[in-house]
C-alpha cells in the first residue's frame, strides 16, 4: 500500500510538472510569435535556466553555452529575462549604436540598498541626476587636475608598499601579493577619498576595509528575491537582515568620517573652506553646500559616491596588478624585457613614478594584455529601457544584458593565438587596419572592454591605470620574483586558476619570494 501511494504521489508530481511545462511552452511560443528572440536553451518551469549556471564562474558557463547557441543567447533566471553577449560586434551595437536604449545598469536588491537606493553614480538611473554627477565626476572629482593634486598621496603609498617588500626581501620572507596589493589600493583610494591610510590609521582603515568587503560579498550573493517575484516580500535566505546590519555599520562609520570633515571645515574662515579641499569628500561637501548648484546633492548622494569609490576602485585595480605579476612570473623573458625597458628610461638611481609611464610602451602593453586575458569584471551589465532590435533579434524593455568581456578578449576572430600571453601584440601591426596597433582599454575598441564603454564607462579608468602601471613598474624595477615554492633552477610557475567571484580574482592567493634587484636600493621619490 505504501509503495502504491508513493507511486501515485510521483505520478501527481510528474503530471503537475508536465502541465506546467506545456503551459509555459505555450506562453513562450505565443511570445516568440510577437518577438524574434535570440536562441535559447531549454528552460525549466519556474527556475528558467538556473540549472545551467549552477557551476561557477558564470563567464565560463555562459561561454560554454554560447559555443553551442551562438554569440547572443536569451535566458531566464527565474522570471528575469537576460541576454548574454559574447561578440565584439554586438557589444558595439549595444554600447554605441543603441547606447541610449542601454544607458541603465541593472541593480539587485543588495546593491540598491547599499548605495542608498541608487543615490550613487554607478547604479543611478540614467537621467538628470546621473548626468550631473557624471559631469561633476569628470570635471572636479576624478579629472586630471584632481588626480595631479592627489599624486603625492599615491606616490607616498606606493613608496610604503615598496619599502615593505624591501624589508621582506632582506629577510628572505614570502610576500602575499594578493593581500598587500589590495591593502595598497584600499589605502590609496581611502586617502584620496577621505584622507585615511591603511598604513597610518590602521584600526580605522581596517574598519573601512571590512565594511567594503562585507558590502561586496553581499552584492555578489545570489538572492532569490532578485529573480523570483513571489520571493520579493520574504527574506528566505536572511540576506535582507544581513544587508541592514552591514549598511548600518557602514553608515555609522561614514557618518563619523563626514562629521570629522564638517567639524574641521567649521574651524576655517568661510572664504577659505572651498580652497582648503584636501580630498574627494571635501569637494563633495563643497558642492552640497553650494545653493547655486544645478542640483543640490544630498548626504545620501555623498555616501553613495563614496561607496562607489571604495568598492569600485580597490579590488579591480588590485586584481589587475596581481594577475600581471602572475603572468610575468610564468613568463620570465617578458619580465626581463620589461625590466630592461624601465632601466633604460628610469635608470637605477630612483624609483619609477607616474610621469615615466608614457615612456614605457612595453609595460603598458603588459597591462593591456593582462586586462585582455583577465578583465577585473568579466561582464558589462546593462538594462534595456525600451523595445529594440539587436543583430536582427528583438529585445524587450527591462531585459538585462550581460556582455561577456572575458570571452570577447579571447575571441580568435580578433586575436591571433588568443590564449597566449603576448604583450607584443599591442606593439605590432593591427590585424584590421594594418597600422601600428592603437587598441586601447578605455572603451573605444570593442574587442577590449575592461572598463566598459560610452556614457556609463568607468569614470575611474585614469586613476586605475595610473596606480596599476606605477605599482607594477616599481615591483619589476626593484625586485626579482619567484613563486613561494620555487627553488633555484626549478619550475617557477604559479597556478593561473580563476576564482568563482564576480570580480575576476585568482582562485588562490599569489605568494611570492622577492629578491632585491638593485643594490644599493634606489632613492625614494618624495
The binding site comprises 458
Q: How far apart are CA 526 and CA 520, in angstroms?
A: 18
Q: What angle, rounded to 10 degrees, do the helices at 315-330 and 461-478 form? A: 40
Q: Which three cell numbers mark 73?
A: 543567447
CB atoms within 10 A of CB 231: 16
For residue 286, the surrounding DSSP H or E stretch is helix 280-288
SS (H, E, C) 52-107: HCCCCCHHHHHHHHHHHHCCEEEEEECCEEEEEECCHHHHHHHHHHCHHHHCECCC
**Torsion of Cα atoms, 313 then 315 then 316 then 320, to 10°:** 130
Pick the closest to residue 371 from 468, 437, 300, 290 (CA basis). 468
DSSP result, 155-204: HHHHHHHHHHHHHHHHTT--EEHHHHHHHHHHHHHHHHHHS--TTTSHHH
Contact 450/442 with Cβ under 8 angstroms? no
Q: How far apart are CA 146 and CA 293, in angstroms?
A: 20
Annotated binding site for heme: 458
Cα distances from 398 to residues 209, 248, 423, 498, 516, in angstroms, run: 34, 31, 39, 31, 55
Which residues touch 23 (CB under 8 Å, ≥6 apart)? none
Contact 367/325 with Cβ under 8 angstroms? no
Contact 435/117 with Cβ under 8 angstroms? no
Strand partners, 104: 383
8-state DSSP, 455: G
Q: Which three cell numbers mark 392?
A: 536582427
Pick the closest to residue 359 from 341, 340, 347, 371 (CA basis). 341
Number of H helices, E strands in the chain: 19, 9
Q: What angle, rounded to 10 degrees, do the helices at 461-478 and 361-373 form? A: 110
Amino acid at each position: 500500500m505504501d509503495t502504491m501511494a508513493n507511486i501515485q504521489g510521483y505520478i501527481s508530481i510528474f503530471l503537475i510538472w508536465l502541465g506546467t511545462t506545456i503551459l509555459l511552452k505555450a506562453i513562450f511560443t505565443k511570445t516568440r510569435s510577437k518577438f524574434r528572440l535570440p536562441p535559447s536553451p531549454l528552460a525549466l518551469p519556474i527556475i528558467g535556466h538556473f540549472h545551467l549556471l549552477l557551476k561557477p564562474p558564470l563567464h565560463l558557463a555562459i561561454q560554454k553555452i554560447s559555443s553551442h547557441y551562438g554569440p547572443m543567447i536569451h535566458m531566464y533566471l527565474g522570471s528575469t529575462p537576460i541576454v548574454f553577449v559574447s561578440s565584439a560586434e554586438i557589444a558595439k551595437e549595444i554600447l554605441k549604436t543603441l547606447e541610449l536604449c542601454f544607458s541603465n545598469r541593472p541593480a539587485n536588491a543588495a546593491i540598491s540598498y547599499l548605495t542608498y537606493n541608487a543615490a550613487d553614480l554607478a547604479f543611478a538611473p540614467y537621467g538628470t541626476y546621473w548626468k550631473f554627477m557624471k559631469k561633476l565626476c569628470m570635471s572636479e572629482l576624478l579629472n586630471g587636475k584632481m588626480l595631479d593634486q592627489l599624486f603625492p598621496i599615491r606616490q607616498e603609498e606606493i613608496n610604503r608598499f615598496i619599502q615593505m617588500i624591501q624589508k621582506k626581501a632582506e629577510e628572505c620572507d614570502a610576500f602575499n601579493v594578493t593581500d598587500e596589493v589590495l591593502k595598497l589600493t584600499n589605502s590609496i583610494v581611502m586617502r584620496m577619498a577621505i584622507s585615511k591610510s591603511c598604513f597610518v590609521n590602521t584600526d580605522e582603515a581596517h574598519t573601512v576595509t571590512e565594511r567594503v568587503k562585507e558590502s561586496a560579498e553581499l552584492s555578489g550573493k545570489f538572492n532569490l528575491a532578485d529573480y523570483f517575484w513571489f520571493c520579493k516580500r520574504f527574506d528566505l535566505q536572511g540576506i535582507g537582515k544581513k544587508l541592514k546590519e552591514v549598511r548600518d555599520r557602514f553608515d555609522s562609520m561614514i557618518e563619523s568620517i563626514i562629521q570629522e570633515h564638517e567639524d574641521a571645515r567649521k574651524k576655517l574662515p568661510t572664504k577659505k573652506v572651498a580652497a582648503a579641499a584636501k580630498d574627494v569628500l571635501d569637494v563633495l561637501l563643497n558642492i552640497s553646500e553650494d545653493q547655486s548648484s544645478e542640483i543640490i546633492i544630498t548626504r545620501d548622494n555623498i555616501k553613495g559616491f563614496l561607496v562607489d569609490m571604495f568598492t569600485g576602485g580597490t579590488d579591480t585595480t588590485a586584481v589587475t596588478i596581481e594577475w600581471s605579476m602572475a603572468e610575468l612570473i610564468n613568463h620570465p623573458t617578458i619580465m626581463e624585457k620589461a625590466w630592461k625597458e624601465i632601466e633604460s628610461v628610469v635608470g637605477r638611481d630612483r624609483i619609477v613614478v607616474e610621469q615615466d609611464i608614457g615612456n614605457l610602451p612595453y609595460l603598458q602593453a603588459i597591462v593591456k594584455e593582462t586586462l585582455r586575458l583577465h578583465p577585473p569584471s568579466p561582464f558589462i551589465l546593462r538594462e534595456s529601457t525600451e523595445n529594440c532590435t539587436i543583430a536582427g533579434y528583438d529585445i524587450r524593455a527591462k531585459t538585462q544584458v550581460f556582455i561577456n568581456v572575458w570571452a570577447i578578449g579571447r575571441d580568435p576572430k580578433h586575436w591571433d593565438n588568443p590564449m597566449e600571453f603576448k604583450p607584443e601584440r599591442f606593439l605590432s601591426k593591427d590585424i584590421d587596419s594594418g597600422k601600428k596597433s592603437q587598441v586601447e582599454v578605455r572603451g573605444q575598441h570593442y574587442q577590449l572592454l575592461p572598463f566598459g564603454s560610452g556614457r556609463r564607462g568607468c569614470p575611474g579608468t585614469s586613476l586605475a591605470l595610473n596606480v596599476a602601471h606605477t605599482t607594477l613598474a616599481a615591483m619589476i624595477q626593484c625586485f626579482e620574483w619567484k613563486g613561494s615554492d620555487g627553488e633555484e633552477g626549478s619550475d617557477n610557475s604559479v597556478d593561473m586558476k580563476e576564482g568563482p567571484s564576480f570580480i575576476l580574482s585568482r582562485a588562490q592567493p599569489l605568494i611570492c619570494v622577492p629578491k632585491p634587484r638593485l643594490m644599493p636600493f634606489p632613492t625614494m621619490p618624495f
